[in-house]
Structure 1
Amino acid sequence: MNLFQIHHHHCRPQALFIPQTTPPRPSLSPPPHFLSLRNPSTLHGTIKLSLTLSPFSPIYLSRRRLKFGHFRVSKIAEQVWSNGEEEKKSSDDDELEEDLSPEGAVYQKTLRLVECSMFAAVAGLAYFLSNSLAIENYFGCFFALPIVISSMRWGVAAGRKTMVATAMLLLVLSGPVKALTYLFMYGLVGLTMGTLWRLGANWGLSIFFCTIARALGAMGYVLVSSFLIRENILALITINVHAYLTYILAALGINSIPSMNVIYVIFGTLLMFNCGFFVFLLHILYAVFFTRLGMKASLSLPRWLEKAI
């Protein structure tokens, strides 16, 4: 018995015979044992396949090749779709090029991140080496400079991030004491100065607020040191000031003992004077430095300093 029988007909359509053993269902369609296609215009050839699944149930299948005229893609629609995709791709490329250009947002954010990281690393390393070599008093005026530069170039947020990054680096390298010392003595002063210079404040206001920030930082440093050594350093300072003032009054022939309130006022005045003088020197030094860097236009300098520079 031949399993596959192939017949080619060119004149009339062929029928598909599927014998069934189940009783036919009542319906309006043709009988289940007779299925045919009656459209000779769409019929090109018929291949009848006879498969024997078992000796008692032969199945005859008919494969026809039909033309489906309704499912056709328009060339115009395909062209419009391709043009739209090309325009979208070209626009995306243009946006990417604009972002990666020196004036783009992505380039500027990346440059800001790199510069802030570099300034934080330089400040932390300089403070660590100066403290390790005991030359902190000679280079202490430069420790706040990276924070001021970041604030002037990229804004107040960049200066704050530089200060925090430097403190975290010192926390890893030297521990919490050195990190807090840097924050109190140099970080607050640098952030205050950079913020006021970024906003274009005059020198009188800038020196006043920076002096307060320096004094508060010094007081914070004293309190932290007192906590660490389990000794009240502030009380020792005021007692020494009281003893010196009493000795001076006795040498002048004045028999009086100053009260503690007077001692506190004298101590605060001396602290503010010391911090104000230090901040004033920082203003002059940083003004000269920024002028040499070509950032004089962004500074608000007094007239006497502009004439001197």
Structure 2
Amino acid sequence: MISLKIHQPNIFLFVSQTTPLRSFLSHPNSPVPPRPRFSLKPNPLCFSPSQIQSSIYFKPLKVSELQPSVRPNEEGEEEEDLQNSPQLQDLSPNGAVYRKTLALVECSMFAALTGLVYFLSNSLAIENYFGCFFSLPIVISSMRWGIAAGRKTMVATTVLLLILSGPVKALTYLLRHGIVGFTMGALWRMGADWSLSIFLCTIVRALGAVGYVLITSFLIRENILALITINIHASLTFMFTAAGIYTIPSMEFIYTLFGILVLLNSGSFMFLLHLLYSVFLTRLGMRTSLRLPRWLEKAI
């Protein structure tokens, strides 16, 4: 049924189509369909072509009528949301990304400084004058950024010395200064007492000294440890003979005496190192992170 509107109001023409339009178009030689019947009946459900056209065509949208997708905020809440976003929080001075970057930069600078000073001190034969400061950067990194930062500083310094001076100097630094500084920094970071810290650092220092002697003996193809014990044995025999004691000490006694001497040397060195580092870190403003004895707190 097709409705056509005539210019008279509320008058519609209804055309009844008996033959489908599709079949008529597909067969042009087919007979003309019968003339449609016209009925002048008002149909309130039919729409005029102007109404159909207005319903089909959309109203063009102007640029000035576009509304922002974000609700305007007059009180600045939108800026606060942006500042509180995770991306901006990470880049803030208290954010995780900023602190990790700062820790990495400090560890790299400490490693570069330590490696350069150790390399120059070995080249100029003044290592004994700066030996007490080679473990300090590792302790500072551990106290400021955690045990992992101290380990990174130690590894970075060892790798740098391996590139600059070779494996011998790198192993020497690692055994005599690197592991000692890492042990001290880790114990101080965990809040250990001085007695425990000095005891463990003394053992680590003694083992590092013995390991350094063994590595040097392997490199020069000479048993330095045997030479040391033989010299101690000869010195004790001479002293006993001069004192009127005609006794030859056994090698077990010599080895025990050698271990005691190494522990005493390492213990005294670590005690002085604890004093020096405590005063130095206190001057740097890190006294609250230290657990000092009462007599040292009163003295400082």
- The reply to whether TM is greater than 0.5 is yes
- Pick which of 237-246 and 153-162 moved more: 237-246
**For residues 275 and 82 of structure 1, what CA distance do their matches in structure 2 show?**
71
The alpha-carbon distance between structure 1 residues 30 and 131, as it changes in their structure 2 partners (threshold 3 A), is: same
Q: Deviations over 1:3-45 (max 9, x none)?
A: xxxxxxxx9xxxxxxxxxxxxxxxx98238459xxx9938999
Give the match for residue 275 of structure 1. 266
Q: 1:268 to 1:31 in 2, by over 3 A?
A: same
**Residue 247 of structure 2 is aligned with which of 231, 235, 256?**
256
1:125-140 to 2 correspondences below 5 Å: 125-140=116-131
Partner of 2:275: 284
2:236 is the alignment partner of 1:245: yes
Runs of at least 5 residues in structure 2 that lack an aligned partner in the other structure: 1-5, 7-19, 28-46
Pairs within 5 Å for 1:170-181: 170-181=161-172
1:53-93 Cα deviation digits (max 9, x unpaired): xxxxxxxxxxxxx9377xx99xxxx96x9239x99998566
Instruction: Choose which of 18, 22, 25 in structure 2 pairs with 1:30.
Output: 22
**Are the structure 2 counterparts of residues 218 and 32 from structure 1 closer, same or farther at C-alpha, using a change threshold of 3 Å?**
farther
Q: Which residue type is aligned with residue 144 of structure 1?
A: S
SS state at 2:69 partner: helix
Tell me the distance in 2 between the aligned counterparts of 1:219 and 1:92.
59
Matched ranges for 1:119-268 at <5 A: 119-268=110-259
Residues 104/43 of structure 1: CA separation in 2 closer, same or farther (3 Å cut): same
1:92-131 superposed matches below 5 A? 94-131=85-122
Q: Is the 8 A contact 1:42 1:67 kept in 2?
A: no
Distance in 1 between the 2:232 and 2:150 partners? 38
Instruction: Give the total of aligned pairs.
Output: 257
Letter in 2 for 1:236: L
- Once the two structures are superposed, residues 191-249 of structure 1 have per-residue CA deviations (whole angstroms, 9 ceiling, x without a partner) of 01101111111111110000001001111111111111111111111111111111111
Choose the corresponding residue for 2:49, options 17, 23, 41: 41
What does residue 287 of structure 2 align with?
Answer: 296
Deviations 1:71-124 (A, max 9, x none): x99xxxx96x9239x999985663222111111111111110011111111111
Matched AA of 1:83:
V
Secondary structure of 1:83's aligned partner = coil
Is 1:67 aligned to 2:56, yes or no?
A: yes
Q: How many angstroms does 1:261 deviate by? A: 0.6
Q: Deviations over 1:131-184 (max 9, x none)?
A: 111100011000000000000000100000000000000011101100000000
**Structure 1 residues 287, 43: CA separation in 2 closer, same or farther (over 3 Å shift)?**
same
Check whether the contact 1:120–1:146 (CA below 8 A) recurs between aligned residues: yes
User: Retained in 2: the 8 A contact 1:215–1:275?
Assistant: yes
Percent identical residues: 65
Q: Could you tell me whether the CA contact under 8 Å between 1:185 and 1:221 is conserved in 2?
A: yes
- The one-letter amino acid of 1:281's match is L
Tell me how far apart the structure 1 counterparts of residues 96 and 195 of structure 2 sit (CA, whole Å).
36
Aligned to 1:305: 296
Q: Which runs of 5+ in 1 are unaligned?
A: 1-10, 12-27, 46-65
3-state SS, counterpart of residue 22 of structure 2: coil
Counterpart CA distance in 2 for 1:161 and 1:108 is 15
* Deviates most, 173-182 or 241-250: 241-250
Q: Which amino acid aligns with 1:250?
A: T
